[in-house]
């Protein structure tokens, strides 16, 4: 979980929705799938009735992983002694036993599950009920947008991955020529707002950057409308608009498989004046190149933290969202309620700065 002498990067938030699989990876009656949340093994399975279950990957009988078992009807059977569990974790069969199978001590911990937009979302705390459904990817179902999906594993904490995805200053260096370039800069205004469950930053007044992605999005130029968002416990959104026709949203659900390993379930939706058949062969390789660059720099960052034994950051005013994300994660881990910020909600913290990009 953590190398010797290295403390966890951020407190663990269990009371939240996390993507653990794509729906297509779970076929009815097929072998179960093993996943992990903050190092806790979880087994996913789809019964013959088509419904998905998520249990702690441990048979309460002799601690054998249930992911080594098989699906029988709507139950998951352990490979060792054949104990069977339903989606609620109740023990429904103990071979050779005469009498009732289910007892409290014989039950497997069960996690709430919801399928949505092709993903299997799991509520991280089996002892509590979700107060709201999982978040939705805002443009993934819009027929006017081309949508592509990626799955990427990154050797970094959830906080580091979220900050990286929502960090403007690094784009002219790590992704030089793709997003922005280091050189001539433009003075823009950044407005940061933090709510109980999210942090949002709006960037105002930036001319279209000269990077490849921006040129594809709007060949004729224009002014960018840009917003970055983090929503507890691990949803990120980067949204760009240029004019009324050009729109890009790079959204992702971040799942902390372990303290220092994060699975990124990315959904990128694009609308331009160009036909989707022309855009898709460009968007996919560029997107993967950007994700690969981010993954490598985050791997090096994590290795440096481990080598020095602790995480030590020095921030300036332009490190806008990273500190706010950490504050939100810390409060959520302490058990504070985080109701969704609905329309008209007032931020609990707000600041505005000028920056050169």
Q: Which residue ranges form the domains of the chain, and what is each CATH number?
A: 17-123 (2.102.10.10), 146-334+346-356 (3.90.380.10)
Residues 66-119: tens digit of each pLDDT: 999 999 999 999 999 999 999 999 999 999 999 999 999 999 999 999 999 999
Q: Are 31 and 70 in contact (CB under 8 A)?
A: yes
CB half-sphere exposure, 81, CA atoms < 13 A: 15
Residues 186-239: tens digit of each pLDDT: 889 999 999 999 999 999 988 766 666 666 655 656 778 899 999 999 999 999
Distances (CA, A) of 249 to 106, 276, 327: 46, 15, 25
Q: Is the predicted pLDDT of residue 255 greater than 60, yes or no?
A: yes
Q: Are 345 and 179 in contact (CB under 8 A)?
A: no
Residues 30-53: tens digit of each pLDDT: 999 999 999 999 999 999 999 999
Task: Please give the Cα distance from 350 to 303 (Å, whole number).
Answer: 34
Task: Please give the Cα distance from 215 to 232 (Å, whole number).
Answer: 32
Give every CB contact of residue 157 below 8 A, 6+ residues apart in sequence. Answer: 9, 10, 256, 259, 260, 262, 302
Task: Give pTM, 2 decimals.
Answer: 0.92
Distances (CA, A) of 102 to 10, 66, 84, 85: 38, 17, 10, 9
């Amino acid at each position: 979980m953590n190398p010797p002498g290295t403390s966890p990067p951020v407190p663990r938030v269990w009371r939240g929705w996390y993507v653990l699989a794509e729906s297509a990876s779970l076929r009815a009656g097929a072998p179960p799938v093993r996943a992990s949340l903050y190092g806790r093994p979880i087994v996913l399975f789809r019964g013959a009735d088509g419904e998905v279950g998520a249990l702690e990957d441990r048979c309460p009988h002799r601690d054998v992983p249930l992911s080594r078992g098989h699906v029988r009807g709507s139950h998951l059977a352990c490979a060792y002694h054949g104990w069977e569990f339903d989606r609620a974790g109740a023990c429904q069969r103990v071979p050779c036993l005469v009498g009732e199978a289910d007892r409290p001590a014989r039950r497997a911990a069960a996690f709430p599950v919801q399928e949505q937009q092709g993903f299997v979302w799991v509520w991280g705390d089996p002892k509590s009920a979700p107060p709201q459904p999982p978040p939705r990817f805002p443009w993934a179902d819009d027929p006017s947008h081309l949508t592509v999906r990626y799955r990427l594993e990154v050797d970094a904490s959830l906080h580091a991955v979220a900050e990286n995805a929502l960090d403007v200053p690094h784009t002219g260096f790590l992704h030089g020529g793709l997003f922005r370039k280091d050189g001539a800069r433009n003075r823009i205004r950044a407005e940061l707002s933090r709510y109980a469950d999210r942090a949002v930053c709006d960037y105002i007044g930036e001319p279209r950057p000269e990077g490849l992605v921006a040129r594809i999005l709007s060949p004729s130029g224009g002014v960018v409308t840009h917003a970055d968002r983090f929503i507890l416990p691990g949803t990120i959104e980067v949204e760009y608009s240029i004019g009324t026709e050009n729109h890009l949203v790079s959204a992702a659900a971040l799942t902390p498989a372990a303290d220092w390993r994060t699975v990124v379930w990315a959904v990128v939706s694009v609308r331009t004046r160009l036909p989707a058949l022309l855009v898709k062969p460009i968007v996919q390789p560029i997107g993967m190149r950007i994700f690969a660059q981010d993954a490598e720099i985050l791997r090096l960052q994590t290795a440096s933290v481990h080598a020095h034994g602790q995480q030590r950051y020095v921030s300036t005013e332009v490190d806008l969202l990273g500190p706010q994300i950490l504050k939100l994660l810390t409060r959520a881990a302490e058990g504070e309620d985080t109701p969704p910020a609905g329309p008209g909600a007032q931020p609990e913290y707000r600041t505005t700065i000028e920056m050169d990009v």
